[in-house]
Amino acid sequence: MLMRFFVESKDITEDTIILSAEDSRHIRSMRLRPDEIFIVCDSAGTDYVCRLGAREDSTVAKIIERRQSLGEPTIDCTIYIAYAKGERLDYAVQKSVELGAHEIILYKAKRCVAVPNNIPKKIERLQKIALETAKQCDRGIIPKVANGGEFETILSASTKNSDLSLLCYESEKKSHLKEVLDRHLSPPYENEASDVKSIAIITGPEGGFESSEVELAKSKDVQIVSLGPRILRSETAPVVALTAIMYHTENL
């Protein structure tokens, strides 16, 4: 697998890319030779196939080829994950990035067992996990990790910013995720094309959703769905839901 780095668009010229000091140190530590190929991504879906510049300068990458990143899915999925204790958020963020999440929003639900005392520091750490994961799994963007605030706030954001908003609820008995995806994403469509290009996936805290939260979600046109007969852990539910959507949309 080729080494991958992310840069800002301002660091890209017609035929060269300026690498950050951190990336340059990484290149030196890996003893990358001037004739070896590596990938630099502009974080907007374009990959640049590169070689190092002069042997003494590990900050300059010479552009050989431009091409579209192949690691980006055809549908944008934003994952809303309730705060959790320990390393559960680390796992959920890492796997969501691997599977193709476009953005990851953390929020506070009524039954959250633990909410970080220093949320900005927690977000910064999880963003670093997202960056390293994006490098390892050939993503074309670095999914943003952000704090969404309270549950009601993220409900409004999920319906405003996505074509389809789903809340995964362990007590839902009638509406299964597959049925909802079949209805919105599988042909035949009324106009021969689905108008769903983005999906919000809301998963609950370790203690599950309170019934009042589910009713509030319904009132805001969020669709309540089941992920099956088994109770999933808070870090497992977003991974399962995202995997199902990626499989259904042929992005796996």
- When the candidates are 3.90.1170.50, 3.40.1280.10, 2.60.120.10, 3.20.20.70, the CATH number that belongs to 76-248 is 3.40.1280.10
Residue 223: pLDDT band by 50, 70, 90 thresholds? Answer: very high
The pLDDT value recorded for residue 14 is 86
DSSP calls for 179-191: HHHHHHHSSPPTT
Question: In which residue ranges of the chain is CATH 2.40.240.20 found?
Answer: 4-68
Question: In which residue ranges of the chain is CATH 3.40.1280.10 found?
Answer: 76-248
Mean pLDDT of 170-175: 92
- Within 8 A by CB and 6+ apart from 70, the residues are 47, 138, 140
The pLDDT value recorded for residue 86 is 86
The pLDDT value recorded for residue 56 is 52
Q: Measure the CA–CA gap between 235 and 185, rounded to whole angstroms.
A: 26
The pLDDT value recorded for residue 128 is 97
Judge whether residue 57 has pLDDT over 70. Answer: no
Q: CATH fold of 4-68, please?
A: Ribosomal Protein L25; Chain P (2.40.240)
- The tens digit of pLDDT for each residue in 131-157 reads 999 999 999 999 999 999 999 999 999
Spell out a b/e string for 151-165, using b for 16 or more CB atoms within 10 Å of the CB, else e: beebbebbbeebebb
For helices 211-219 and 151-161, angle between their N-to-C axes, nearest 10 degrees: 30
Residue 23: pLDDT band by 50, 70, 90 thresholds? Answer: confident
Which amino acid appears at position 223 of this protein? Answer: Q
Q: What is the bridge-based pairing of β-strands 60-68 and 144-150?
A: unpaired
